[in-house]
Each structure stands twice: as structure tokens, then as C-alpha cells.
């Protein structure tokens, strides 16, 4: 059934080159190439880590955080390591093929919502001073002040 899902990547508008997706987007070699993805952070259990061919594996650096898709899973212990890895990856200069296109970094989890979203928000807070209250401006959020 996995092949029936249309894969897509969602760009993080304020950070060129940073993307978020579910497991289907992370498996799409076409999407990885078209968005110049050179780094993939998988916040999943082992079975949901993308399996690519040898050619793709030599072009992509990966980080795997063995995190279960469970609401009680504590991800706090992974956030500093993940944020530092994302930041270092985004600092890489574009390669010679298209110097205008930034190096792409993809953060994914199973559904592309909770764990990957939490990691990206933690990165924005740590490296771009996104205030914790900023969430109240996002569509669908509720201001609980």
C-alpha cells in the first residue's frame, strides 16, 4: 500500500533548503534530487528509515534517531544533537552543479507531522530565535494564554 501514497516535501519557508516530510517523501529519489537533498534526518524506528540504492546512498548523509511513533515517546534527549546536525548541514555550500540552489536538508518521521515538526521547531527556536509563543500564529493553533 505504501506505493499508492503521493510523496511530497514541504519547504520551511523561512529557512531555504530545509524540508519536512513523511516516510514516503523521504523514499522518493526524484524528490530528493529535485530539492537538492544532501542530508536526511530520520526520526523513526528502524523499519521506516529509507532504503536507497547504492548510488543515492553515496550522495546523501543521514542521521537516524530511533524514535517510536508513540505519543509518550520522549524526544527531548535527541533535540540538541538533531538541531546541531541540521545547522551544520545547512551551512554547507552548494555544489558546482547549481550554485543558486541551497543544499537541502530533509527531516522526516512516519507521518511528517509530530516528531519531524517538533525537531524543526526546536531547530528554529535554537538557531533562529523563534519564540516559543510563535505557535499561536500558525494556522490551526489555539492561543492558550
DSSP string covering 14-68:
TSTTEEEE-HHHHH-HHHHHHTTEEEEEEEE-GGGS----HHHHHH-EEEEEE--
* Catalytic machinery residues: 109
Phi, psi of 107 (to 5 degrees): -110, 125
Q: What span, in angstroms and rounded, lies between the C-alpha atoms of 66 and 1?
A: 24
In sign, the C-alpha dihedral spanning 91, 93, 95, 100 is: positive
Amino acid at each position: 500500500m505504501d506505493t499508492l501514497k503521493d510523496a511530497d516535501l514541504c519547504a520551511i519557508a523561512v529557512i531555504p533548503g530545509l524540508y519536512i516530510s513523511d516516510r514516503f517523501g523521504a523514499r522518493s529519489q526524484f524528490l530528493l534530487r529535485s530539492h537538492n537533498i544532501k542530508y536526511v534526518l530520520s526520526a523513526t524506528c528502524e523499519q521506516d528509515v529509507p532504503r536507497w540504492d547504492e548510488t543515492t546512498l553515496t550522495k546523501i548523509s543521514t542521521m537516524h534517531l530511533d524514535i517510536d511513533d508513540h505519543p509518550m515517546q520522549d524526544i527531548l534527549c535527541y533535540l540538541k544533537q538533531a538541531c546541531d546536525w541540521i545547522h551544520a548541514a545547512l551551512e554547507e555550500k552548494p555544489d558546482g552543479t547549481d550554485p543558486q540552489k541551497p543544499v537541502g536538508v530533509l527531516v522526516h518521521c512516519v507521518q511528517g507531522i509530530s516528531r519531524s515538526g517538533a525537531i524543526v521547531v526546536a531547530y528554529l527556536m535554537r538557531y533562529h530565535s523563534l519564540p516559543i509563543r510563535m505557535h499561536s500564529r500558525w494556522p490551526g493553533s489555539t492561543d492558550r494564554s
